[in-house]
Amino acid sequence: MAASAIKAKATKSVEPAETLIELCDLTVNFGRQAVLQNVSISIPRGQTLAIIGESGCGKTVLLKHIIGLLFPSSGHVEFDGQRIDSLNEKELTALRGRFGFLFQNAALFDSMTVADNIAFPLKEARNMGSQKISQVVSERLKQVGLPNTVLGKRPAQLSGGMRKRVGLARALVMSPEVLLYDEPTTGLDPIMSDVINELIMRTRDQNAVTSIVVTHDMKTAQKVADRVVMLYPLTRLKASESQIIFDGTPEEVMACKDKRVSQFVRGEAGERLLEMEQATG
Amino acid sequence: MASAPPNAVLETPRRGVGGAVYDSTADVGAVVIRWFETLGDMTLFMWRTIAWLATRMPRRDTIIPAFYNIGVLSLPVVALTGTFIGMVLAVQSYTQFKQFGFETRLGALINLSMCRELGPVLAATMLAGRVGSAIAAEVGTMRVTEQIDALTSMGANPIHYLVVPRFLGCLLMIPSLTIMAIFMGIVGGWLYSVQVFGIDSYHYWHNSQQFVHNWDLFYGIFKSVFFGATIAIVSCYRGFNCAPGAEGVGRAATAAFVLSFVIILMLDFFLSIGLDRVHNMIWPELG
C-alpha cells in the first residue's frame, strides 16, 4: 500500500488534534554519510507514535533532533509552533524540560545512586526543597513498580529491566508533555518487555503525554502505538523514493503488502543475506 | 564467497614519484589541518568552560568530590615520587660536586631544582597520569553510553556540570600538590645527603638559604596553576570527543595524558622565559 494512501486512511481513523511536533523536510548528513533525507512527520498532541525500521536507518538520530540534541543539515523541527533551531541556549533548556527521554540503555549516571539519578532533573531545576524532591522520587519509583529499597543502589547493581524502569522514572520526574523512548524493550526478556510496554501505556493514560517510541520490536509497536511510521535506510532506497515507506495504524502495518514492510514486520531475512554477500564480494 | 583476483594489485594505476610526493604532501597537510582544527576546538572549549565558571558556580555536591579526588587522593603518590626525585638528584649530583669540593652546596642545587622545575612538573605529570587519564576515560564513557546526552536532555549543561568542577579542582588543588612535591623532594634530598653522604647539615641548609628565595617558590607554584588548567581542559576535551566503543575510551585516556604532558613541557619552557624576564624587570640588579 502506498504511504500516501495509508496516511490518508490513518488520518481518518485518528481524531483531528493540534499538531505538537512537526518535522519539516529533515535532512541529516554526518560528514559524507546521509542518514535522513527530506523526512516530514506531523505528530499531534496526545498521540503515541512508533517509529520502526532497520538498524542504521536513522530512527535514534531523528529522536535526538526532536529534543534538540542534534541539529539537521537542512529542514527544521517545530515544537508547539516554535522552530527549535531558532532558540537560544536558555530557551532550548526550558524547552527540553517539557520532554522526558528514556535512552536505549537507560543512560543512568554510574556515579550516582538510583535516588540521585531520579532526583537529578529536580535538583538541576533548583526550585524544590530536598524533602519534596524525596517525595516526588518515591512517587515516581512507585509508578514504575520499583520498591524504595533500590533507592540507595548504584545502576551497576540493577538488572536491565530495573535500569530501564529507573530511566523511565527519571524521564517522568519533571511531568513532561512528551516522552521519547529509544528502543525501550531492547535486550529485555519477553516478560520484562511487556512490563515496559504496559508502563508506556499506563504513563500515557495517567499523564496524558505525547509519546514517540523508536523500536525494532513489532510487539511493542502494536501494543502501545496509535500510529506507526517506518523509515527505510537511504542506502537501499532509489533516488526518487521517500524515506518514509509506511505511515498508518498498527493494524494496517501488519496487513501492508509492501514487501519491504511485510518483511520487517514478519522478521524475515528474505534475499538480504544474499545481497549482503554480493555487496561484500 | 568471491575473492579478489591474485593480480588485483597490478591493476592499481601507477602514479610515479611525483604522485607519491603529492600524496605524501597531501597527507601531511591533512594532519596539520586536523591539528589546527583540534587546537581551535580546544580553545573554544576552554572559553566555554571559563564563561560557565563566570556565569554560574557548580553545585557543591559536584565540586567537593572533584576536589577530593584530584587533590586529596593524589597527595600520597606526589609525596612519594617527590621524595625519590630529591634523593635521585642527590645521588646524581654528589660525585660531580665532590670533585670540586662543593658537596655542601648540594642543598642549593636540589632545593632550587625542586622549587623552580621538578616540583611543579612532577606534580603535573602525576596529576595528568592519575587524574587526567581518569577524567578522559570517565567523560568518554559518559559520551559513549549517552550519559552526556541524558544530561543535556534534562536541562543540564555538560560543560557546566562535568568540566567546571574538574577544572576548578585541577586549578586550585595543583598548587598544594606542587608544594607537597617540593617539600618532600627537599626532605628526600637532605636525608640522603646528610645520612648517606655525610654532608654537614648546617652547611647544607646555609648554602641552600643563600641560593633559594621566595621568588623561586612562587615561580614553581605560579607555573603549576597553568599546568593544572591544561590537564583539566585537555582531559575533558578528549573525553567529550571520544570515539565510540572501548577502544575509543582507551585512546581518549592515553591521548589525554600524552597531549597534556606535551603541552605542559611547552608551557614550562615559555613560562620559564616569561618569569625570568619578569624577575629581571623587578630586580634588575640580580639579573
- Name the closest residue on chain B to residue A119, using Cα atoms: B154
Mean pLDDT score of chain B: 91
Q: pLDDT higher for B285 or A148?
A: A148
Q: pLDDT higher for A193 or A17?
A: A193
Q: Looking at residue A281, what is its pLDDT?
A: 66
CB A109 within 8 A of CB A120: yes
Position B270 confidence tier, pLDDT thresholds 50, 70, 90: very high
B43: closest CA of chain A, how far (Å):
20
> Is residue A45 in some structural domain?
yes
Q: A153-191: per-residue pLDDT in tens?
A: 999 999 988 999 999 999 999 889 999 999 999 888 888
Distances (CA, A) of A169 to A96, A164, A180, A224: 17, 9, 13, 18
Q: Looking at residue A272, what is its pLDDT?
A: 72
pLDDT at residue A6 tops 90? no
Q: A228-251: per-residue pLDDT in tens?
A: 999 999 888 887 889 999 999 999
A89: closest CA of chain B, how far (Å):
9
How many distinct structural domains can be found in chain A?
1
CB A228 within 8 A of CB A243: no
> Is residue A141 in some structural domain?
no
> Is residue A56 in some structural domain?
yes
pLDDT at residue B261 tops 50? yes
Q: All 3 cell numbers of residue B179?
A: 608544594
Q: Looking at residue A237, what is its pLDDT?
A: 84
CATH number at residue A205: 3.40.50.300
**The pairing of beta strand A227-231 with beta strand A244-248:** antiparallel
pLDDT at residue A24 tops 90? yes
State which residues form the domain around A251. Answer: 3-98+176-279
User: Across residues B102-118, what is the average pLDDT?
Assistant: 94
Percent of chain A with pLDDT strictly greater than 70: 93
Q: Which residues of A touch B66 (CB under 8 A)?
A: none
* Separation between Cα atoms, residue B60 and residue B66, nearest integer Å: 10
Position B287 confidence tier, pLDDT thresholds 50, 70, 90: low
Conformational region of residue B27, where left means phi above 0, alpha means psi within -120 to 50, and beta covers everything else: alpha
pLDDT at residue A10 tops 80? no
Q: A78-91: per-residue pLDDT in tens?
A: 999 999 999 998 89
* Separation between Cα atoms, residue A222 and residue A29, nearest integer Å: 31
Q: Which residues of A touch B59 (CB under 8 A)?
A: 123
Q: pLDDT higher for B285 or A248?
A: A248
pLDDT at residue B5 tops 90? no
pLDDT at residue B1 tops 60? no
Q: A36-63: per-residue pLDDT in tens?
A: 999 999 999 999 999 999 888 999 999 9
Q: Residue B154: which of A89, A94, A120 has the nearest Cβ?
A: A120
User: Across residues A215-226, what is the average pLDDT?
Assistant: 92
Q: Which residues of B touch A (CB under 8 A)?
A: 1-4, 59, 141-142, 145-147, 149-150, 152-157
CB A92 within 8 A of CB A68: yes
DSSP symbol at B104: G
pLDDT at residue B79 tops 50? yes
Q: B183-204: per-residue pLDDT in tens?
A: 999 999 999 999 999 999 999 9
Instruction: Report ipTM for this prediction.
Output: 0.85
